[in-house]
Amino acid sequence: MDISLPQKDFLVLTDFTREQLTALLDLADDMKHQPEAYRNALAGKSLGMIFHKQSTRTRISFEVGMFQLGGQALFFSPGDMQLSRGESISDTAKVLSRYLDAVMIRTFAYDDIVELAKHATIPIINGLTDFNHPCQALADMMTIRAHFGKLEGLKLAYIGDGNNMAVSLLFACIRMGMHISIASPPNYTITPKAMEWILDDAERDELDICLTDNIEEAAKNADVVYTDVWASMGQEEERTKRLHDLADYTVDDMVMSFANPNAVFMHCLPAHRGEEVGASVIDGPASIVFDQAENRLHLQKAILYGLVK
């Protein structure tokens, strides 16, 4: 397959249409099943990877993915660059554009990625911010489509903290034609800023979008039940309070019983068994969490190919 993404960067899923994201999913599927066809697709290309947050899946999938496409990936921790000593984002972007073919950055503030993309002449890929996690959410769409054979018309129920993962799943579901319910305690629902992104989105009118604090209401008739950790990176000081406030939002066998009989369980990992999810659920037959993890590799290879080739 041959595809070029219409945007220079991959920052937020709402930048793309359903048709464009579907083409990206098709490419990821092709790469998964015919990897040799893309073995040297990015030969001679270099990806810079900037990590201000720790990572397992993001780093390994991008690094291995770039290698499998014939290119190279360079890892930069916070102390490896002059950003940590006060060099501006704009200067960094201009310098990296002279050396690299693309940059993937995993950081805290979404606005910092926007600023980097504004001044860079090469593609910038959002590997995660506190606002959103588009690579993960699109890999999740790939996983759901592989399991059910479709996306449109399915329902996803997200249970727990309305964090960056909840926001990205909201954006992904709207783009791909899925209904979504998000159950969170009142003080942990997704932010008004996130909802503002979709207020004028024509594709949301045909979909059921439910924000509630009622787990049974959210999970009822769901095809996918999804959760994430209750204390993300950067929230360690809030951990005790969050464990208390979210204690009733564990995805256990009872929660799964509210969903459709053939519903699957998803989690972007790392997981804390006994907190946001019960061991019987994440390690049970409905769990497809390791399919999710694997598909990060194939989806991110598709993004790299679409932006860099």
Query: Reduced to 3 states, what is the DSSP secondary structure of residue 5?
Result: coil
pTM of the predicted structure, to 2 decimals: 0.96
CATH 3.40.50.1370 fits 136-292, yes or no: yes
Task: Tell me the C-alpha distance between 298 and 62, whole Å.
Answer: 9
Q: Could you write out the three-class secondary structure of 295-308?
A: HHHHHHHHHHHHHH
Other Cβ atoms within 10 Å of 89 Cβ, number: 18
77 is in an annotated binding site: no
Q: Do domains 13-132+296-308 and 136-292 have the same CATH topology?
A: yes
Task: Tell me the C-alpha distance between 12 and 62, whole Å.
Answer: 18
Known catalytic residue at 228: yes
List the domain boundaries for the chain. 13-132+296-308, 136-292
- CATH homologous superfamily of domain 13-132+296-308? Aspartate/ornithine carbamoyltransferase (3.40.50.1370)
Known catalytic residue at 39: no
92 is in an annotated binding site: no
Known catalytic residue at 133: yes
82 is in an annotated binding site: yes
The band of 194, judged by pLDDT with boundaries at 50, 70 and 90, is confident
What pLDDT digit, counting tens, does each position of 28-49 carry? Answer: 999 999 999 999 999 999 999 9
Query: Taking 80 as the threshold, does the pLDDT of residue 58 lie above it?
Result: yes
Residue with tokens 């990590």: 51
